Amino acid sequence: MKFCPRCSLTLTTKEDGGRERLACPDAGGCGFIDFGDFSIGVGAVVFDDDRALLVQRGWEPNRGHWQIPGGYAEHDENIAESVEREVLEESGITAKLRDAVGFRHSIGGGIGGPSTNIYIVFRLDAEPGEPSFDDDEIIGAGFFSLDEMANMEGVQGLSRWAIELALRAPHGSGMQAVDGPGSGRAGWTLFGLEPGGLL
């Protein structure tokens, strides 16, 4: 990045938060500081009884591998809506968010991805229906038990970890959308552990 995305001035560097960062030199108050390239990903462990939804990748990398549905949260999208949207887009299944059960933080990015990513795994409950897929981005979809997954080739390790974690965690033990400071504010969703939800 060479130019300010807000006012188009040539960026310089500025000390901020204990490190040098690209910043706009506009003394009039533009205020732009580049904090880096990062994104938020969402993954969905969707249950139908004790079987979890997997989708089969149609695109590289890892074409043919099985994983939980997921993708990127849009910059202007509520995160609960983003994970429900990704499930519907990739599998044709309507599912409702139950709670958040874990996350992965990665620095360095992958092929074509941002340099830093937080990937939040949510647990969802499926509404009745059969999986469907576009036969392009996704070339297969279905609900599978852990025993069935053990006999499938190409089940992604992170997805298997997320499913096992969600199965072990008691109902209500994950972080749920809760009321709290700012929870009524537009664009805010707070997630927290409910008292009594833990062992």
C-alpha distances out from residue 9 to 3, 53, 82, 108, Å: 6, 48, 34, 28
Q: List Cβ neighbours of 197 (8 Å cut-off, separation of 6 or more).
A: 170, 172, 173, 174, 176
Structure tokens at 66: 């099985």
Please report which confidence band the pLDDT of residue 136 belongs to, taking 50, 70 and 90 as the band edges: very high
Report the mean per-residue pLDDT for the chain: 90
pTM of structure = 0.84
- Residue 113 clears pLDDT 70, i.e. is over it: no
6-20, 72-86, 111-125, 141-155 — which is least confidently predicted? 111-125
Identify the pLDDT of residue 109: 57
Q: Rounded CA gap, 74 and 34, in Å?
A: 19
Identify the pLDDT of residue 130: 96
Q: Rounded CA gap, 2 and 24, in Å?
A: 10
pLDDT > 90 in the chain, percent = 67
Q: List Cβ neighbours of 83 (8 Å cut-off, separation of 6 or more).
A: 42, 43, 44, 70, 73, 97, 120, 122, 124
